Structure 1
Amino acid sequence: MKTSVYNDKGLDKYLPVISKRHSLYEKKIAELTDGHKWDLSDSANAYLFYGLHKYPDKWVFREWAPHADEIFLIGDFNNWQPQADYALIPTYNGNWEIELALSALQHGMLYKLWVKWSDGAGERIPAYSRRVVQDEVSKIFSAQVWDTSNYEWKHTQPKQPSSPLIYETHIGMAGEKEGVSTYNEFRKNILPYIASMGYNTIQMMAIQEHPYYGSFGYQVANFFAPSSRFGTPEELKELIDTAHKYKISVVLDIVHSHSVRNETDGLSRFDGSFDLYFHEGERGMHPVWNSRLFNYGKNEVVSFLLSNCKYWLDEFKFDGFRFDGVTSMMYYDHGIGKNFTDYSLYYDGTQDEDAITYLTLANKLIHEVNPNAFTIAEDVSGMPGLASSIANMGIGFDYRMAMGISDYWIKLLKEKTDEEWHVGDMFYELTNKRKEEKTISYVESHDQAMVGDKTVIFRLIDSQMYTDMNVYQRNLNVDRGLSLHKMIRLVTLATAGNGYLTFMGNEFGHPEWIDFPREGNDWSYQYARRQWSLLKDQNLRYRFLAEFEKEMLRVVKKYRIFSQKPFVIVQSTVDQVLIFKRNNLVFVFNFNPTKSFTDYGFEIDKGKYKIVLDSDNTQFDGFNRIDDNYEYSTQLINKKNLLKLYIPARSAFVLHKTS
């Protein structure tokens, strides 16, 4: 019997296109490895060739700039003037090189390139710079000579988690102070908290150097430079090393979908040409992001990006990547304003097959460099095969973000009253995933926390977050908000395909949006931080949400719920009761805002059951309407094993079959 591609008969008619794309990948990998004479990872060593390198007897600097007429190193060492002694020599294939005595450069010196072309000249930061810093007064960025001994790694990298429980982080806004937090502060203050909560993966945003802090790190200029705003490369390595001590994997939120359009501190018009790394004309500019778009059809660009992946794996021991903007990469129209309602929209010729080839190569390389690494795709289009294996003609990501789930919760909270919540639709939306792919579910990421949007807790409680979150008095709206916050997160985690994500602070209902310093807010850091003191304040109710998050993570790990798919038992739209089984746990949700149910019966496996998690427990600021120590037994009624429960309004609990 013939097997359908990706086990989906609906894709059979598109098999020729899928096969063609896979053949483009096979052709490109053969080209890059000279007919498979070496591994792909051996073709991704550009970072070891280009840039500034120190040898026992000299410094060597190399750059690729085929359209340049002259290139000079300028910096602290020659008063920032182009001089013959610092002129690069053209070698081959557009490469330039200079050798300098060891005494010519010292640790900490600033430098750039002065590049001359046929009709102009300009300062440029080398494309492979590993250290870029900004002058505090002039705000100008420069490359920096970084001559330090290699960091000595102390801890082995953890095994890939079978089910990633991801804490999405931003180093700079991780502290409570109104300013930029550091790698060291994160390592000392935030990392122990993440470990204590039970997350097994950290996703780091804004690591690649970016000129504008408010871009959240998505307007990258210097792809090989860890952001110096937060500290030194060694301090980032120590952070990652310490995470590994806690058996926590660290994933880099890598940006290969576009680059900042800046010329003096980015890659745009690097050697006077507009198409060195990017497409020419309109195709080379993103219509919404106002940034430059890579030409994935050029081998030099592919080499640059693949080398970038290998660099972060080898030099910093990241355990994988979350690829940003994958939808934008895969479609000529970047998926803007497009509803992907038909399979034809994935195979109609409007896809950038060079980009798809690059993404497949990147996944091949990453797993070749570190077979234990894992990759996550951010794609809103639902491209089939994105998280299918390359051997099965897929693009090769290990996971895709289940991005429709956060959209579902926002739509529900904005458009429906509590009485209109349809648990059948809810279960469908939370479990509607491609069967052959692994997915990461989340209620909200950093996107929902940005200024102009609202987090779930803010949609639930709004301004009463500021006045009624104390433990000394009850408020009906706050009680509702906290109950639903716990239930929404639990049902999302319990129905997740293969993993779960939350953005830093959202687990305890951080009360404010994110707004980076900008002219419109007088360059304030007030909303570019996390107020951890709210979590620690015993007079406030935030701590109960964090405690519930911690306990639900403990439960899903202990009982290994991701080893099986959720199986629905009850989805009563009238009662607003949702009950489903997963592995050896039974999840019970009553979204009814006013009605509790006594002796609510449903058929289940014969045995005894005990509650292992209860959102209504006073430990989580609930009302303790259930005896969590009671052991429930099935009853044989009309030849059916029924379990009868008391299910309080607006609550959820989890049962474990004990016998």
Structure 2
Amino acid sequence: MAGSKKEIGTGFITEVDRYLFNNGRHYEIFEKMGAHPKKYKGKNGMYFAVWAPHAEQIGVVGDFNSWDPEANAMMPLADSGIWEAFVPGIAAGELYKYAITTKSGKILFKADPYAFSAEYRPGTASLTTDLSDFQWGDDAWMDKRGSADPMNSPMSIYEVHLGSWRRKNRPEKDGCYTYVEAAKELADYVTDMGYTHVELMGIAEHPYDGSWGYQVTGYFAPTSRYGTPQEFMYFINYMHKKGIGVILDWVPAHFPRDAHGLSEFDGEALYEYADPRKGEHPDWGT
């Protein structure tokens, strides 16, 4: 059975990938899951992969197919709960979701948990992107970090929430600084104050501003409130070139119940405990 299912796959996710994923030891799984520009059978397009072991069927939907759940069906890969599809003709900048048909026949429209980019709120779709063309310039920083002794090096951290640190007098995105705008001013401030590191609060994609980024719907997507993934990469690159380390907060303990997010992702408890005594934070609604 495993052999027959493996043969109909694209080959982008291998048997070794699935083995490591099933054992919780695929530490570069973000390179496989989500949406990635690929060439398949001579055609350029986008490869999609999502984990939904309880689903009856899944379709990739977006403006490119009028959000039709049956237009671009995904296929299950053996022994993994992973579904995949290659959609030719799609490039970066396309909104998309997964239309997941549950065992009860209900169709759930879910954002991609592994997406690198997301639609700006109140939109809830994921966004295809291509990160391959960014040119990093932080080799000196990375070399220095690799040879440093962290146990005996001075460390002083400036924790900051980008959305409320400083704002511009403009209506776009509530005046929030972009990643590019914040980079220079924040680097100058941190350097003047003698800090060695910046710690960004709740930078992963989240639907509710009031959570300060601590109710996440996209763990691999820097929030679109402040710009694109490439602009976020610019921010990191700039900080490193100025000799400043960057620490990212992330939230493994809870996520919101928003319909497009991780809650009952494929119609059943998947990312959460099925038992509500463990699976719910009643005080937070997460």
What is the DSSP-based 3-state SS (H/G/I as helix, E as strand, rest coil) of the residue aligned with 1:241?
helix
Aligned to 1:167: 158
Q: Deviations over 1:239-272 (max 9, x none)?
A: 11111122111111111121112221x1001100
Q: Deviations over 1:437-476 (max 9, x none)?
A: xxxxxxxxxxxxxxxxxxxxxxxxxxxxxxxxxxxxxxxx
- Superposition pairs for residues 189-338 of structure 1, below 5 Å? 189-264=185-260, 266-273=261-268, 275-280=269-274, 281-291=276-286
- Superposition pairs for residues 643-654 of structure 1, below 5 Å? none
What is the DSSP-based 3-state SS (H/G/I as helix, E as strand, rest coil) of the residue aligned with 2:233?
helix
Matched residues in 2 for 1:75 and 1:90: separation? 20
Equivalent residues, number: 247
**Does the aligned pair in 2 maintain the 1:173–1:181 contact within 8 Å?**
no
Aligned to 2:64: 77
The alignment-based identity, stated in percent, is 36
Match of 1:143 among 114, 123, 126: 126
CA offset at residue 233 of structure 1?
1.1
CA offset at residue 122 of structure 1?
1.5
Matched residues in 1 for 2:257 and 2:81: separation? 22
Matched residues in 1 for 2:168 and 2:230: separation? 23
Matched residues in 1 for 2:230 and 2:167: separation? 23
What is the DSSP-based 3-state SS (H/G/I as helix, E as strand, rest coil) of the residue aligned with 1:97?
strand
Aligned to 1:325: none
Matched residues in 1 for 2:32 and 2:63: separation? 24
- Superposition pairs for residues 11-22 of structure 1, below 5 Å? none
Question: What amino acid is aligned across from residue 109 of structure 2 in structure 1?
Answer: E
CA offset at residue 188 of structure 1?
2.3
Consecutive unaligned residues of structure 2, counting only runs of 5 or more, are: 1-18, 170-174
**Does the aligned pair in 2 maintain the 1:205–1:252 contact within 8 Å?**
yes
Aligned to 1:112: 97
Structure 1 residues 181, 249: closer, same or farther in 2, change over 3 A? same
What is the DSSP-based 3-state SS (H/G/I as helix, E as strand, rest coil) of the residue aligned with 1:122?
strand
Aligned to 1:128: 114
**Does the aligned pair in 2 maintain the 1:174–1:186 contact within 8 Å?**
no
Aligned to 2:12: none
Aligned to 1:45: 28
Matched residues in 2 for 1:44 and 1:78: separation? 33
What's the RMSD between the two structures over aligned residues?
A: 2.3
Matched residues in 2 for 1:45 and 1:263: separation? 27
**Does the aligned pair in 1 maintain the 2:59–2:100 contact within 8 Å?**
yes
Matched residues in 2 for 1:192 and 1:41: separation? 40
Matched residues in 2 for 1:215 and 1:129: separation? 20
CA offset at residue 41 of structure 1?
10
Matched residues in 2 for 1:91 and 1:245: separation? 42
**Does the aligned pair in 1 maintain the 2:187–2:244 contact within 8 Å?**
no
Matched residues in 1 for 2:28 and 2:131: separation? 21
Aligned to 1:637: none
Q: Deviations over 1:523-581 (max 9, x none)?
A: xxxxxxxxxxxxxxxxxxxxxxxxxxxxxxxxxxxxxxxxxxxxxxxxxxxxxxxxxxx
Question: What amino acid is aligned across from residue 271 of structure 1 in structure 2?
Answer: D
Question: What amino acid is aligned across from residue 284 of structure 2 in structure 1?
Answer: W
Q: Deviations over 1:591-611 (max 9, x none)?
A: xxxxxxxxxxxxxxxxxxxxx
Q: Quick check: which has more Rg, 1 or 2?
A: 1
Q: Deviations over 1:601-641 (max 9, x none)?
A: xxxxxxxxxxxxxxxxxxxxxxxxxxxxxxxxxxxxxxxxx
Runs of at least 4 residues off by over 4 Å: none
Q: Deviations over 1:480-509 (max 9, x none)?
A: xxxxxxxxxxxxxxxxxxxxxxxxxxxxxx
Matched residues in 2 for 1:226 and 1:145: separation? 13
By percentage of residues, which structure has more helix? 1
Question: What amino acid is aligned across from residue 76 of structure 1 in structure 2?
Answer: D
**Does the aligned pair in 2 maintain the 1:107–1:146 contact within 8 Å?**
yes
Question: What amino acid is aligned across from residue 185 of structure 2 in structure 1?
Answer: N
CA offset at residue 118 of structure 1?
2.1
Match of 1:62 among 49, 74, 77: 49
Q: TM-score, normalised by structure 1?
A: 0.36
What is the DSSP-based 3-state SS (H/G/I as helix, E as strand, rest coil) of the residue aligned with 1:141?
coil
Structure 1 residues 81, 246: closer, same or farther in 2, change over 3 A? same
Q: TM-score, normalised by structure 2?
A: 0.80
Consecutive unaligned residues of structure 1, counting only runs of 5 or more, are: 1-33, 292-659
